[in-house]
Amino acid sequence: MGTRTGLVVGAGSFTLDILDEAKRGGRDLVVAGIRGEADPGLETKAAVFAWFEPGEIKKLAAFFREREIHEIFMLGKVDPRSIWTKPGFDEIAEELLARAQERTPSSLLKQLFAFLETQGVAVKDPSSLLQPYLFSEGVLGKVQPSSGVLEDMNFGWMIARALADLEVGQTAIVKDRMVVAVEGMEGTDETIRRGGRLAGNGIIVVKVGRSDQDMRIDVPAVGLETLRNLVKAKGTALCIEAGRVPLFQKDDVITLADANGIAVVARKS
């Protein structure tokens, strides 16, 4: 029997990759899937699995506590619009929401973490699970960025970092040192599609973490679907923060990027 590992999993195709890697590393997975968000395929990868509505916090804490899981990781996203629709919100969720002075992801999740700790369940930094998907600074494929593309990356980096620090989003779409689109609730993929519609060929995508990124709260990830959307938008480059923005399905991403003349660059500030 391997190490028992507790996970709360929301949306994101990359979550399946992480679970597969964790299993290969000898972990027995106890997984709480967020209904309507998590991939149904998670059920086949867990030793123990259960579905939860986003607001079933009391039930979630009991699920791990009853299985003697006292440390968990959170992976993937939950649609922030659930704050308005309140699917399955129990009295704890309603109380945490009412108590929040601001409803940013970090503020709400920190309240959730504090409650779970009172129940004997601590949320831990998932970086140990993400190491295979974090890359050092450099060009990751065969396509080298031009000097103009590098200038756009520098410009987009400043915009993306400011957005991330304001908790607006973590992705900026730029072209010719102009802001084309910024990420909000819609997520990275829709932001890329919108950027392509607005600016046409040649957009550049820059995705970064916050200056004080807490990986428990959010993992700013990219993957094959990101690149597919950039190809459809006839984009020029994808720039991610080295060591902090995981790149999933790297081989497939680089193959597709190289075939379409797209530079993929990991860089530091």
pLDDT score, position 2: 65
pLDDT score, position 251: 96
pTM (predicted TM-score): 0.87
In the sheet that holds 263-267, the strands lie side by side as 138-139, 263-267, 237-241, 204-207, 171-175, 178-182
Q: Domains in the chain, start-ordered, CATH in brackets?
A: 3-124 (3.40.50.20), 134-267 (3.40.140.80)
Burial of residue 23, with CB atoms counted within 10 A of its CB: 0-12 exposed, 13-18 middle, 19 or more buried: middle
pLDDT score, position 265: 98
Q: Which helix (H) or strand (E) holds 228?
A: helix 224-232
3-state secondary structure of 161: helix
pLDDT score, position 65: 95
Both tokens assigned to 252:
């497939």
Query: Average pLDDT by consecutive 10-residue portion of the chain (269 residues)?
Result: 86 88 91 94 92 95 95 90 87 89 82 93 92 95 97 97 93 98 93 97 96 86 95 98 94 98 95
Pairing status of strand 138-139 against strand 263-267: antiparallel
Amino acid at 189: D
